[in-house]
Every structure is written in structure tokens, then in C-alpha cells.
């Protein structure tokens, strides 16, 4: 086994991988929010850019990554693939633990993978403004950056609890000349519904999405951009898993277990789907684990049915695990995982029992983060720490059973802006 793994430029994939092309039975269609019919291309384009909708609906197995996008990826991709020798030693486990670190890029999380692509598509179509929501601020920062790189204005509704806890993220977005609003705000009907009841309402991703969508559908040349959940977003994130496969080949190992945290599901899908292809096509056996917070247990406690992606019933109806469109999670720090729903594709695989799900409490997750921080030296985002927590559990199980195994997890982002949360949990 090779322990120092390269980041060869040729590991950046040529194309995104569309897992739907490898499914015999397709997931249930998205429905129009009013008619409840299967949604069409024309139904979606008032909200999203045309090219994005094409990618959402494509049946092609591979979608080429444009050169202009690849050039921006090359700033931080291929991302590091790291052998966790310090963690292994600390746990005294026979398991080999690796992680794919998406936090080393300029925006500090995997969100740039889709932000850059979405901003590029918008710029090609002459869209002047993208609106969006952000929880922890990672997605908002990533889109703000991508907008700056491709000359597209960005308006961000930031969930109030994060807006206040993470001023650095707000400053960063504003430095990119993005317009950042605390959500729920008084500037939209969707926001006013909550703001009028409580002007300190902590907010939720569902509410912020409604606000961003309202602005998009009521303005001309403005489209909405979503940072997770949709098939096209998951598609863009498959660069993570494809690189990981190439890097594991260099390392000379293949995973027994692949782990990712889930909020909307895109980081997990990003690392898991390319490996899932080897399960589907080559009959490989891998245990996939999606990890969520107990405070927002979408997979483990949510119901699989049609639900809206936002809190005001403006999005298409998605067949997904959901805690209900009105669900407002407690103010836990893993702001990026505070979403009521789960990507339809991740829900699909969970329903087919191709993936497992686990929910952890915040103290448990912070303990895992601290172990990781001190043994591997990287300050993880609280969201990403859910994956660390599962990796530790798996490694300890290997120790108990005295069986070697290869564990890979996605470390979706760094925690440089989460020091308040860490200080509180010290």
C-alpha cells in the first residue's frame, strides 16, 4: 500500500458521472407543484438556467466538464487524498483509514465543485444574477466566488443562526461583491411569513430557499441556484469520487466502507456514486454510510414521500426522505446539515438498502472532530465531522473484531469559520 498519494492533474475527470444512466429502475419523477404532473423542461426553466435543467434531466452516463470549468477546478483539484496514519495510531486499529479532503480549496468545501459549474452555465446563457440560500455559509461563499470568477451577480439568503455565528463567511461573500441577507428577511413574502412572527427567527434552509426562489421568479434575467439535493448538483460532485478512485488505484487499495455526511446529500453522493457504479457494474461489495445529525435526522427518522424542497411550496415536488417542509431544526452548529429533505437519489439508494444511515448527537460529533484535529492536524467543519465520527466507529469495530478493512470518508470542508462553535464545545 502506498501512503503518500499524488494529485496528478490527469486525476481531474473529463466528465461528471450520471448514476441514473446505470439504474435499471429510475427514481420517481419530480412533480409540478401545482398540477402534480411529471415536471417538464419548460416547467423548470423559469427557476433554473436552461443548461442546468438539461443536466438535471440528462440520461447520458457522462457529462463533459467544460474547459473553462476545468481550469477553475485545477486551482484546487485534484484534492488531497490522505492516509490517516495519526488517527489509525491513536485508535490502535487494524483498519486502514483514508480521507478525501475537499477543504483545501480556496472556499474551503466541496461546494465549489457545483458552484463553479452553475455560475459558468449561467454566464454562458447571459443570466445576470443568481439567487441562492446558504446555511453554514459554505455554499453561499462558493457561489459568490464562482459568480465573481464568471461575472455573474449573486444574492444570498443566509440562515439567521449562521449569519450571526459566522461573520467571516458573510464578509467573504461581500468581498466577492455578493449581496447577503439574513433569512428569514422582511424583503420577501416567504421570509415575512416567519419574520413578522419573530424577527429573531433562527431560520432554516427551507425558508431561505423560498426567499431565493421568490426573488428569482419575480425578477427578469435572475435565476435560482441550489447547492445540493438536485440530481445535477450531485452529478457535479462526482468529481470527488472519481478522483478518489484514481487515487486509491495509486495507493493500491479498494474500500470496504465509504462514508460521507448528509445534509442535502451532495457531498455523500459525490464520493459514493462513482464507487456505487463499481458495485452496480462490477459486483463489488462496499458498505456505504450516510451520516446525519440527530437534530435533523432526515434519513433515519424522515418519511419517504413527495415533499417540497422549500418551506413555501414553490419548488417541484421531490420524492425524498423528509421531516416535512415546515421542519425547523434546533440551532445546532452543523448549519449545513439543517435541511428537512434529502436528495431524491440518495433517498432512492437508502430505500433500496444500498446505503446505510446513522444519526449522531452534537457532543459525540465534536468529540470525534477533536480527536481528528489532534491526530491529523486538520480542523474539520462540524458537518464533515459527522463522517469522521462514523469512520472512527467503523475503525473501532474493526479493532473489536480484529479484522483489517479499508475505510474512506469524505472530509467535506474545513472549520476555520466555526471556531465559535469549537470554543463553545471545548
Among 26, 220, 402, 426, binds a second copy (CB under 8 A): 426
Note whether 54 binds a second copy by CB under 8 A: no
Spatial CA neighbour of 241 closest among 267, 265, 280, 263: 267
Note whether 313 binds a second copy by CB under 8 A: no
Per-position x/- string for 350-389, each x denoting binding to a second copy as judged by CB under 8 A, each - no binding: --------------------x--xxxxxxx----------
C-beta separation of 413 from 108 below 8 A: yes
Among 85, 199, 218, 219, binds a second copy (CB under 8 A): 85
Strands 153-159 and 179-183, by their bridges, are parallel
The residues near 303 (Cβ < 8 Å, ≥ 6 apart) are 321, 322, 323
Buried residues in 233-252 as b, exposed as e (16+ CB within 10 A): bbbbbbbbbbbbbbbbeebe
Q: Which stretch binds a second copy (CB under 8 A): 102-110, 184-192, 304-312, 356-364?
A: 102-110
Query: Toward a second copy, which CB reaches closer, 45 or 420?
Result: 420
Quote the CA–CA distance of 53 and 372 in Å, as a whole number.
39
Displacement of CA 123 from its chain's centroid (Å): 23
Per-position x/- string for 179-208, each x denoting binding to a second copy as judged by CB under 8 A, each - no binding: ------------------------------
Query: Toward a second copy, which CB reaches closer, 136 or 276?
Result: 136
200 exposure class (CB count in 10 Å sphere: 0-12, 13-18, 19+): exposed
C-beta separation of 210 from 193 below 8 A: no
The residues near 331 (Cβ < 8 Å, ≥ 6 apart) are 161, 202
Task: Count the residues of the shown chain that bind a second copy, applying the rule CB under 8 A.
Answer: 53
Query: Toward a second copy, which CB reaches closer, 85 or 361?
Result: 85
Quote the CA–CA distance of 397 and 356 in Å, as a whole number.
16
Note whether 12 binds a second copy by CB under 8 A: yes
C-beta separation of 139 from 224 below 8 A: no
Quote the CA–CA distance of 45 and 9 in Å, as a whole number.
35
Residue 103 Cβ vs a second copy, minimum distance, rounded to whole Å = 8
Displacement of CA 10 from its chain's centroid (Å): 24
Among 66, 86, 94, 297, binds a second copy (CB under 8 A): 86
Quote the CA–CA distance of 155 and 195 in Å, as a whole number.
19
Note whether 417 binds a second copy by CB under 8 A: yes
Residue 101 Cβ vs a second copy, minimum distance, rounded to whole Å = 8
Residue 102 Cβ vs a second copy, minimum distance, rounded to whole Å = 12
Residue 364 Cβ vs a second copy, minimum distance, rounded to whole Å = 17
Q: Which stretch binds a second copy (CB under 8 A): 54-62, 65-73, 129-137, 353-361?
A: 65-73
Q: Which stretch binds a second copy (CB under 8 A): 76-84, 207-215, 233-241, 261-269?
A: 76-84
CA distances from 401 to 94, 387, 398 (A): 9, 21, 5
Q: Which stretch binds a second copy (CB under 8 A): 67-75, 208-216, 260-268, 333-341?
A: 67-75
Applying CB under 8 A, the residues found at the interface with a second copy are 3-10, 12, 70-72, 74-76, 78, 80, 82, 85-86, 104-108, 145-146, 148-149, 167-168, 171-172, 174-177, 370, 373-379, 414, 416-417, 419-420, 422-423, 426
Amino acid at each position: 500500500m502506498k501512503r503518500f498519494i499524488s494529485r496528478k492533474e490527469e486525476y481531474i475527470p473529463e466528465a461528471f458521472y450520471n448514476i441514473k444512466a446505470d439504474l435499471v429502475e429510475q427514481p420517481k419523477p419530480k412533480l409540478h407543484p401545482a398540477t402534480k404532473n411529471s415536471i417538464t423542461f419548460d416547467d423548470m426553466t423559469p427557476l433554473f438556467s436552461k443548461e442546468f435543467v438539461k443536466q438535471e434531466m440528462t440520461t447520458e452516463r457522462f457529462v463533459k466538464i467544460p474547459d473553462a470549468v476545468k481550469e477553475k477546478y485545477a486551482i484546487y483539484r485534484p484534492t488531497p487524498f490522505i492516509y490517516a496514519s495519526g488517527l489509525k495510531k491513536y485508535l490502535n486499529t487494524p483498519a486502514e483509514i483514508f480521507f478525501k479532503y475537499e477543504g483545501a480549496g480556496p472556499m474551503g468545501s466541496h461546494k465549489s465543485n457545483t458552484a463553479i459549474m452553475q455560475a459558468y452555465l449561467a454566464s454562458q446563457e447571459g443570466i445576470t444574477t443568481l439567487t441562492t440560500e446558504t446555511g453554514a455559509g459554505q455554499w453561499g461563499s462558493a457561489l459568490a466566488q464562482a459568480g465573481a470568477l464568471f461575472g455573474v451577480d449573486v444574492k444570498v439568503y443566509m440562515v439567521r443562526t449562521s449569519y450571526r455565528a459566522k461573520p467571516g463567511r458573510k464578509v467573504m461573500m461581500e468581498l466577492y461583491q455578493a449581496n447577503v441577507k439574513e433569512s428569514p428577511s422582511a424583503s420577501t413574502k416567504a421570509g415575512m411569513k416567519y419574520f413578522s412572527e419573530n424577527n429573531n427567527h433562527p431560520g432554516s434552509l427551507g425558508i431561505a430557499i423560498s426567499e431565493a426562489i421568490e426573488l428569482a421568479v419575480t425578477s427578469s434575467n435572475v435565476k435560482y441556484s441550489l447547492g445540493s439535493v438536485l440530481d445535477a448538483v450531485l452529478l457535479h460532485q462526482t468529481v470527488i469520487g472519481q478522483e478518489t478512485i484514481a487515487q486509491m488505484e495509486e495507493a493500491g487499495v479498494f474500500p470496504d466502507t465509504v462514508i460521507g455526511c448528509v445534509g442535502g446529500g451532495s457531498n455523500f453522493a459525490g464520493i459514493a456514486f462513482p464507487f456505487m457504479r463499481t458495485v452496480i457494474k462490477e459486483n463489488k461489495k462496499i458498505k456505504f454510510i450516510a451520516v446525519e445529525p440527530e437534530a435533523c435526522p432526515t434519513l433515519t427518522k424522515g418519511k419517504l414521500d413527495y415533499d417540497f424542497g422549500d418551506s413555501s411550496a414553490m419548488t417541484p415536488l421531490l420524492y425524498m426522505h423528509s421531516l416535512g417542509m415546515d421542519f425547523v431544526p434546533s440551532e445546532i452548529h452543523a448549519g449545513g446539515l439543517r435541511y428537512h429533505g434529502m436528495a431524491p437519489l440518495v433517498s432512492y439508494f437508502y430505500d433500496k438498502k444500498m446505503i446505510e444511515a446513522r444519526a449522531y448527537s452534537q457532543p459525540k460529533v465534536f468529540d470525534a472532530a477533536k480527536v481528528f484535529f489532534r491526530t491529523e492536524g486538520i480542523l474539520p467543519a462540524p458537518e464533515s465531522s459527522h463522517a469522521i465520527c462514523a469512520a472512527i466507529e467503523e475503525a473501532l469495530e474493526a479493532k473489536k473484531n480484529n479484522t483489517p478493512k479499508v475505510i474512506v470518508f469524505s472530509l467535506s470542508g474545513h472549520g476555520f469559520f466555526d471556531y465559535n462553535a469549537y470554543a463553545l464545545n471545548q
